[in-house]
């Protein structure tokens, strides 16, 4: 039994574990996937200033997958930004989260992930805070969510806003600025028409591990390797997005190996949200 499989067994992920929904990429492991990942990261080592951060979305309850995720990051001592959906948190669920990720541990950056994770767009791509949502309703939801997060997490809360589906409107940014948020985390640039006066730091996601849509898993694995191969050209911190409820056994093994390699990769820094914001303030 390998060291990796021993870790995973200890964290409660059996060999036949399958989530209800997962990307084709994570169904079957390529025979030489560890070698491919290691070689890809070696090729991307040209940028000695490479910075990487991890963000886990749709946090709202404990469970086997969440506990395993926390175990992985704790084992590797790597920071993880937890995007919490405020409306999903009951007192029981809050206790479940804190059993797996205690508040006093230094690894977790608890922050707000919308309010209810509901799509309000009548057409186009999904968004909880899109252009079709009236600004007063956006303000009510974000304020309500922020208050609940402050009540539950107190001084451990980081004032960063991750919108569901990684989309928001120019109006949303104005609201976040009014409410004193320190930054946002999107999977792309700000929407068109945003004025410089309402810009907040964007802790941008550049690699999506688990909500991928490709049907050909083998081809998508190569696509993922191509994404990792481009890390060396990134000047800003590279965000990697996780959805733990879509992770198969192979997805956990891959993340374990990825964290191990990055942790020992010369010139790579694994940053927390707080470190990125502090670095932005210093520049």
- Predicted local confidence at residue 191, as pLDDT: 86
Give the number of other CB atoms < 10 A from CB of residue 253: 22
- Predicted local confidence at residue 196, as pLDDT: 63
Structure tokens, 199: 């810009």
Mean pLDDT over residues 239-246, rounded? 97
Q: Map out the domains of the chain as residue ranges.
A: 3-14+23-282
Q: Characterize the bridge pairing of strands 238-242 and 157-161.
A: unpaired
Residue 236 has pLDDT above 80, yes or no: yes
Percentage of the residues of the chain whose pLDDT score is greater than 90: 79
Residue 238 has pLDDT above 90, yes or no: yes
| pLDDT band, residue 3 (cuts 50/70/90) | very low
> 95-145, pLDDT tens digit by residue?
999 999 999 999 999 999 999 999 999 999 999 999 999 999 999 999 999
As a CATH number, domain 3-14+23-282 is 3.20.20.370
| Secondary structure of 197-226 as H, E, C letters | HHCCCECCEEEECCCCCCCCHHHHHHHHHH
Are 246 and 18 contacting, i.e. CB atoms less than 8 angstroms apart? no
Mean pLDDT over residues 43-48, rounded? 66
Mean pLDDT over residues 40-58, rounded? 84
CA 4 to CA 34: how far, in whole Å? 12
> 248-265, pLDDT tens digit by residue?
999 999 999 999 999 988
Element (H, E) at 269: strand 269-270
> 136-188, pLDDT tens digit by residue?
999 999 999 999 999 999 999 999 999 999 999 999 999 999 999 999 999 99
Residue 6 has pLDDT above 60, yes or no: no
CA 245 to CA 17: how far, in whole Å? 11
Residue 48 has pLDDT above 70, yes or no: no
Residue 43 has pLDDT above 60, yes or no: yes
Structure tokens, 133: 């949502």
Query: What count of Cα atoms within 13 Å lies in the side-chain half-sphere of residue 260?
Result: 13
Q: Long-range contacts of range 96-99, CB-CB < 8 Å, 24 or more positions apart?
A: 96/61, 96/62, 96/63, 96/66, 97/59, 97/61, 97/62, 97/66, 99/62, 99/67
Average pLDDT, the chain: 91
CA 197 to CA 207: how far, in whole Å? 28
């Amino acid at each position: 039994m390998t060291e990796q499989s021993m870790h995973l067994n200890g964290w409660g992920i059996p060999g036949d574990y399958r989530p209800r929904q997962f990307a084709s990429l994570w169904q079957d492991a390529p025979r030489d996937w560890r070698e491919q990942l290691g070689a890809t990261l070696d090729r991307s080592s040209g940028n000695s200033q490479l910075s990487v951060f991890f963000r886990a979305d749709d946090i709202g309850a404990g469970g086997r997958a969440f506990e395993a995720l926390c175990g992985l990051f704790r084992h590797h001592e790597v920071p993880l930004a937890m995007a919490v959906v405020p409306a999903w948190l009951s007192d029981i669920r809050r206790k479940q989260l804190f059993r797996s990720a205690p508040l006093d541990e230094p690894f977790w950056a608890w922050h707000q992930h919308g309010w209810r994770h509901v799509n309000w767009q009548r057409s186009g791509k999904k968004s909880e805070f899109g252009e079709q949502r009236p600004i007063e309703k956006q303000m009510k939801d974000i304020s309500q969510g922020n208050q609940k997060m402050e009540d539950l997490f107190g001084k451990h809360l980081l004032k960063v806003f991750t919108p569901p589906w990684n989309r928001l409107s120019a109006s949303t940014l104005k609201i976040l600025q009014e409410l004193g948020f320190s930054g946002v985390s999107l999977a792309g640039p700000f929407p068109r028409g945003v004025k410089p006066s309402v810009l907040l730091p964007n802790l941008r996601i550049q690699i999506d591990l688990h909500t991928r849509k490709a049907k050909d898993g083998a081809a998508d694995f190569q696509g993922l390797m191509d994404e990792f191969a481009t890390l060396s050209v990134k000047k800003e911190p590279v965000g990697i997005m996780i959805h733990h409820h879509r992770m198969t056994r192979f997805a956990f093994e891959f993340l374990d190996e990825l964290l191990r390699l990055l942790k020992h990769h010369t010139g790579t820094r694994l940053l927390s949200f707080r470190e990125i914001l502090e670095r932005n303030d210093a520049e």
